[in-house]
Structure 1
């Protein structure tokens, strides 16, 4: 159980000195929380922002892939090339930061959709605001504001289809070969994104600005669209290759890259690196979340997204 340190009440007068005090206080609280929760995570959060250290930790692994494996819930995308081997996928992620090219079996997709329709989700990921997705408009009316997102918190762990994906030998082989360590499951999420007006603060809070995630020295994250996603349904976007070619100043601030305007990052790394992932329900893709990426705001229809993250070390704590 994590200990929550008391928050220091902030002064209401907004001056540069007060803002500095507020930032410093929040930073100290965050460090104390991480130090108390798991000192290893605190150390990792300082070191894993640097590419050289990330790669050094991965190179120290000695993972040996199995001679034979079966893909139980994954198959190739219809009309695309045959399913790549886990080793080939790992090499493509190492080169580009992401890979798109597999899909869920129809039976698994159907089971996940049924789960999403028959299990309460939570408005804006607030555990005190449960509702069924068919009652979304009613929930928004009760709140008096449009819903931005709705997540199932940890309820997805009770879904058999999710467990099949989580333990799929093909996905585990891809993850392990990319990490060069036996992949450790960290966490996952099933969540809706809704068409709604978003402020910049909303976008930052819901990961709809370019950012990177640093949850271990190296991690890998699988995504699956459970609804059709075109340009108007909030597609995922990668900035190709930025997991290996990050400017040192951007490495130093780590997840603070989320505070840099999207357009500034595009100008820095090149518009040709921006890769938008669209596709039919069931489409799967995978990436290194250290690679700059973002979700986008749906403007036409809602999007249901499943994600799973694997790393090297199991920690007792997260950033939030």
Structure 2
């Protein structure tokens, strides 16, 4: 009896941890339900994508049917110099990620000035409007933590943002990797702030501190640019190399896209996790079907820009992925 009692007692913490994890996952999914419902209402074809694109057979079938890209003209001049789009696409096929982009300093500085002087929206909520240098005061005024600050359509008021978005190299890489149907679907600029009292819902909407993969389209590619110097304390992005090419069965046949770090790293390899620090203006491109996450800044705010490509018609209802928030 004593052995059984001891065994039962020892299993309780693990059981409680499993229950807590399950509850946390359900909460994160519940936050996104209003957005999912709106996506289905706008475009019924979104639902089969959402169900099948998470499985390797579904993805491989869609990739096999994609129209291949055959360049018909020499590459155009790019702000990013002489990077070879085909070579970048080859690296993406192998690792799911390629680093080595560097935007011109004058463009990085213009976007940063824009982001310091233009009001952003806290936690994706258009009712929580403030300028980034007054983040602490804004938390006091609104009476809540502000983990992120997005600019939505205001991002395109920056000439630098428009220049990066239109750079021909980005589209060329996307077509080499995704196929000839690749098209621009997202452009966004946002802040991530150090804050001591963020909620599970806020972190879920901001996709922070949880390994996950994106399911916005059958095939996607996202370019990210650090607009401030990013070190370990600035909330760097983390990507698990190679995880775009294989998927644990458990991670395919579930509605959840987020999974605990130990579960992800045990299967895909802790040595494959790349923490993407770098100076202002540095950038990388990734296949967001690979497991990745942003981390919460602890020492200073992080300012990022993203340009995303996909193969399906982008949503007109929300500006570049703006979630639907249930009030």
168-177 vs 242-251, which deviates more? 242-251
1:269 aligned onto 2:274:
no
Map of 2:245 onto structure 1: 244
| Deviation (angstroms), 1:23 | 12
| Distance in structure 2 (CA, Å) of the matches to 1:161 and 1:283 | 15
Q: Which residue of 2 aligns with 1:68?
A: 74
Matches within 5 A, 1:156-175: 156-175=155-174
1:179 Cα shift?
Answer: 0.0
Tell me, in whole angstroms, the C-alpha distance in 1 between the residues paired with 2:127 and 2:118.
15
**Whole-Å separation in 1 of the counterparts to 2:170 and 2:53:** 23
Q: Does 1:52 align with 2:51?
A: no
- Cα contact 2:149–2:192 (8 A) shared by 1: yes
Q: How many residues align?
A: 290
For structure 1, which runs of at least 5 residues remain unmatched after alignment? Answer: 1-21, 76-82
What do the CA deviations read for 1:251-290 (whole angstroms, capped 9, x no partner)?
A: 2225x131x2212211222211111111000001000110
Q: Distance in 1 between matches of 2:246 and 2:133?
A: 44
**Gap regions ≥5 residues in structure 2:** 1-26
1:55-87 per-residue CA deviation (whole Å, 9 max, x = no partner) reads 332333121124312343224xxxxxxx54100
Tell me the distance in 2 between the aligned counterparts of 1:263 and 1:53: 26
Bigger mean CA offset, 299-308 vs 150-159: 150-159
Matches within 5 A, 1:109-188: 109-188=108-187
Tell me how far 1:142 sits from its aligned partner.
1.0
- Partners of 1:54 and 1:237 in 2: how far apart? 23
Paired residue secondary structure (1:253): coil
Q: Is the 8 A contact 2:123 2:202 kept in 1?
A: no
Please give the alpha-carbon distance, in whole angstroms, between the structure 2 residues aligned to 1:30 and 1:280: 34
Aligned to 2:149, the other structure's residue is in SS state strand
User: C-alpha distance in 1, partners of 2:28/2:117?
Assistant: 42
Is the CA contact 1:40–1:315 (under 8 Å) kept in the aligned structure 2?
A: no
SS of the residue corresponding to residue 308 of structure 2 reads strand
SS state at 1:305 partner: strand
Q: Is the 8 A contact 1:224 1:284 kept in 2?
A: yes
Q: Distance in 1 between matches of 2:310 and 2:129?
A: 30
2:234 matched residue in structure 1 = 233
Alpha carbons 1:73, 1:105 under 8 Å: kept: yes
C-alpha separation between the residues in 2 aligned to 1:301 and 1:286?
Answer: 24
Structure 1 residue 52: Cα displacement: 3.0
- Native 8 Å contact 2:227 2:281 kept in 1: yes
1:121-152 per-position Cα deviation (integer Å, ceiling 9, x unaligned): 11222101211222222212212333211111
User: Residues of 2 paired with 1:31 and 1:154: CA distance?
Assistant: 21
Query: CA 1:35–1:113 in 2, change beyond 3 Å: closer, same or farther?
Result: closer
Distance 2:306 2:31 in 1: 29
CA distance in 1, matches of 2:79, 2:269: 36
CA RMSD of aligned residues (A): 2.5
Whole-angstrom CA distance in 1 between matches of 2:28 and 2:88: 41
Measured against aligned partners, the alpha-carbon deviations of 1:79-118 in whole angstroms (never above 9, x if no partner) come to xxxx541001001111111111111011211221121122
Aligned mates of 2:268, 2:125 — CA distance in 1 = 36
From 27, 40, 46, the equivalent of 1:41 is 46
Matches within 5 A, 1:278-293: 278-293=277-292
Contact 1:175 1:183 (8 Å CA) reproduced? yes
